[in-house]
Amino acid sequence: MNQSTPPQDWDPSLVDDIVARHKGTEGPLLPILHDLQAALGFISEDAMHLVAQALNVTRADVYGVVSFYHDFRTAPPARHVLKICRAEACQAMGGEAHAEALLARLGLGWGEATADGRLTVEPVYCLGLCACGPNAMLDGAPRARLSEAGLDALVREALA
């Protein structure tokens, strides 16, 4: 998801519009949740409630889906999201050590945001750039061949 467009403010009619766009399709829940998160930055309890009503399913059903998938958030993310690949091919290129060093410098654990709310660092398991590791993705834009210095530069770019 691209965080460079600021999320829209909460407005129940936004949910109605998104649901209406997908309601006639087969299995509309995931496309609805993706659109909601793209518009709002996360999927709130209020939004889940409205989606459940509109699709005539229980709130538990919707919550169950939201909580199952790593992509969906139930709280607002930081302004920028840096996803660092932790899978085998990037590990083979030393990616894990770079990532751990970065997290230590920022004082963060995986999935945590900086105190000023500007950057969340999340794990991702493979970006499909495995011949050019280590890799990461900043706000939806892929970056490859990231040395430790390259990863630092990427973070500085995000925080600038």
Partner 1 sequence: MMRIYLPRDATTLALGGEALAAAIQAEAAKRGVAVTLIRNGSRGLFWLEPLVEIETPQGRLGFGPTQVEDVPGLFGPDLARHPKALGLVDQIPFLARQTRLTFARCGLTDPLSLADYEAHGGFKGLARAREIGPAAVCAQITASGLRGRGGAGFPTGVKLETVRKAEADHKYIVCNADEGDSGTFADRLLIEADPFCLIEGMAIAGQAVGAARGYVYLRSEYPQAIETLRAAIALAERAGQLPGFSLEVRVGAGAYVCGEETALLDSLEGKRGMVRAKPPIPALHGLFGRPTVVNNVLSLATLPFIMAEGAEAYASFGTGRSRGTMPVQLAGNVRHGGLFETAFGITLGELVEEIGGGTASGRALRAVQAGGPLGAYFAPHQFGTVYDYEAFAAQGGLIGHGGLVLFDDRVNMARMARFAMAFCAHESCGKCTPCRLGSIRGAEVLDKIIRGERRAENAALLEDLCETMKFGSLCALGGFTPYPVMSALKLFPEDFGLTPHAAALA
Residue ranges in contact with partner 1 by CB under 8 A: 26-31, 33-34, 64-65, 68-72, 85, 87-93, 124-133, 135, 137, 140-145
For 84, counting Cβ atoms within 10 Å of its Cβ (0-12 exposed, 13-18 middle, 19+ buried), the class is buried
Sign of the CA dihedral with 69 first, then 75, 77, and 82 last: negative
User: In the complex with partner 1, which residue's Cβ is closer, 32 or 116?
Assistant: 32
Nearest distance from C-beta of residue 57 to partner 1, angstroms: 9
With tokens 């945001």, the residue in question is 113
Nearest distance from C-beta of residue 55 to partner 1, angstroms: 8
User: In the complex with partner 1, which residue's Cβ is closer, 6 or 27?
Assistant: 27
Tokens representing residue 28 in the block: 């509309």
User: In the complex with partner 1, which residue's Cβ is closer, 11 or 157?
Assistant: 157
Nearest distance from C-beta of residue 100 to partner 1, angstroms: 12
Nearest distance from C-beta of residue 10 to partner 1, angstroms: 22
* Contact (Cβ atoms closer than 8 angstroms) between residue 146 and residue 124: no
Q: For the beta carbon of residue 37, count every other beta carbon within 10 angstroms.
A: 20
Total length of the chain: 160
Tokens representing residue 17 in the block: 């519009």
Nearest distance from C-beta of residue 116 to partner 1, angstroms: 26
User: In the complex with partner 1, which residue's Cβ is closer, 43 or 113?
Assistant: 43
User: In the complex with partner 1, which residue's Cβ is closer, 7 or 28?
Assistant: 28
H helix intervals, 56-106: 59-68, 88-91, 95-106
Tokens representing residue 16 in the block: 């109605």
